[in-house]
Amino acid sequence: MRAVTIASQAGRGKLALSHLNPPEPGTGEVLIEVAASGVNRADLLQRAGKYPPPPGAPEWPGLEVSGTIVSAGGGVSPRRVGEKVVALLDGGGHAELAVARAAQTLPVPPGVDLVDAGALPEAVCTAWTNLVDTARVQPGEWVLVQGGSGGVGTVAVQLARALGARVIATAGGPERVAQVRELGADVVVDHRREDFVAAVRAATAGHGADVVLDVLGGRALPDNVRALAHGGRLVVIGLQQGRRGDLDLNALMTKRATVTGTMLRSRTPAEKAAVVAAVHEHVWPMVADGRVRPVVHARLPLGEAEAALAMLEHGEAFGKVLLVP
Mean pLDDT over 310-323 rounds to 96
CA distance 243 to 254: 24
Given this model, what pLDDT does residue 10 score?
A: 52
What is the reported pTM? 0.95
Segment 242-297, tens digit of pLDDT: 999 999 999 999 999 999 999 999 999 999 999 999 999 999 999 999 999 999 99
CA distance 186 to 183: 9
12 pLDDT above the threshold of 70: no
- Domain encompassing residue 67: 2-119+265-324
Q: Residue length, the chain? A: 325
Phi first, then psi: what are they for 29, rounded to 5°?
Answer: -120, 165
- DSSP 8-state assignment for residue 95: B
Check which CATH number belongs to the domain holding 166 and give it: 3.40.50.720
Q: How many CB atoms lie within 10 A of CB 42?
A: 20
Q: How many CB atoms lie within 10 A of CB 77?
A: 10
Return the closest-CA partner of residue 109 out of 301, 289, 249, 325. Answer: 289
Give the dihedral of Cα atoms 98, 57, 284, 167; nearest 10 deg: -130
Are 16 and 144 part of one and the same domain?
Answer: no
Given this model, what pLDDT does residue 101 score?
A: 98
Domain boundary among 220, 245, 261: 261
Segment 193-243, tens digit of pLDDT: 999 999 999 999 999 999 999 999 999 999 999 999 999 999 999 999 999
Number of domains in the chain: 2
Return the closest-CA partner of residue 70 out of 59, 61, 80, 62. Answer: 80
